[in-house]
């Protein structure tokens, strides 16, 4: 007997399990440093975190406030 292909539960009407929304690396770093949004711009430690700005997520508005350009083609 040939094995059926595809997802057998596709038409069952059941919804898939939701994937939990995890914080970004930036949000985790901000939480680790204990910073509030109004303290982001003046934080020396957060500015140190931005050294890897081409590989890590940092909000675009914050980068603009710091006067930093990001290379979107960086590896």
Neighbour tally for 43: CB within 10 Å: 14
Question: With the CA atoms of 75, 69, 23 and 21 taken in that order, what torsion angle do they form, in degrees rounded to the nearest 10?
Answer: -80
Q: Given this model, what pLDDT does residue 36 score?
A: 92
Q: What is the pLDDT of residues 20-34, one digit of tens each?
A: 888 888 899 899 999
**Which has the higher per-residue pLDDT, 71 or 22?**
22
pTM score, whole prediction: 0.60
Q: Work out the pLDDT band at 74, boundaries 50, 70, 90.
A: low
Q: Given this model, what pLDDT does residue 50 score?
A: 77
pLDDT above 90: residue 51: no
* Cα–Cα distance, 23 to 27 (Å, whole number): 6
């Amino acid at each position: 007997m040939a094995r059926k292909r595809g997802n057998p539960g596709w038409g069952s009407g059941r919804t898939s399990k939701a994937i939990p929304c995890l914080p970004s690396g930036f949000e985790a770093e901000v939480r680790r440093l204990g910073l509030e949004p109004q303290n982001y711009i003046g934080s020396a430690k957060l500015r140190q975190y931005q050294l890897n700005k081409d590989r890590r997520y940092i909000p675009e508005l914050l980068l603009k406030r710091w006067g930093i350009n990001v290379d979107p083609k960086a590896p």
